[in-house]
Amino acid sequence: MEIGQICIKTKGRSAGRKVVVLSEVKNGKILVDGINVKRKEYNAMHLFPTKEKVKLKKEATHKEVESALKKQ
């Protein structure tokens, strides 16, 4: 998974919601953020990658992530 790639959460409270990857894989976990999803490191196995991408810098702010997802 790459920075800026849109994924769908498959497990947990926020299952089914879109998130954006903000960091590379570290120990099987990826930092993600999204609309109504807490910025947190999630297990990479609990994310379904899509072909969609947004242009974001590494570890962008929550406001930048929200605006990028709303434009999608």
CATH code: domain of residue 21: 2.30.30.30
- In tens, the pLDDT along 6-35 reads 999 999 898 999 999 998 888 889 999 999
What is the pLDDT at residue 33?
92
pLDDT of residue 10: 94
What's the pLDDT at 52? 92
* pTM, two decimal places: 0.86
The domain containing residue 55 runs over which residues? 5-71
Question: CA 16, CA 8: separation in Å to the nearest integer?
Answer: 6
Q: Count up the domains in the chain and report the number.
A: 1
The pLDDT value given to residue 71: 85
pLDDT of 59 reads 77
How far apart CA 3 and CA 42 sit, in angstroms, is 14
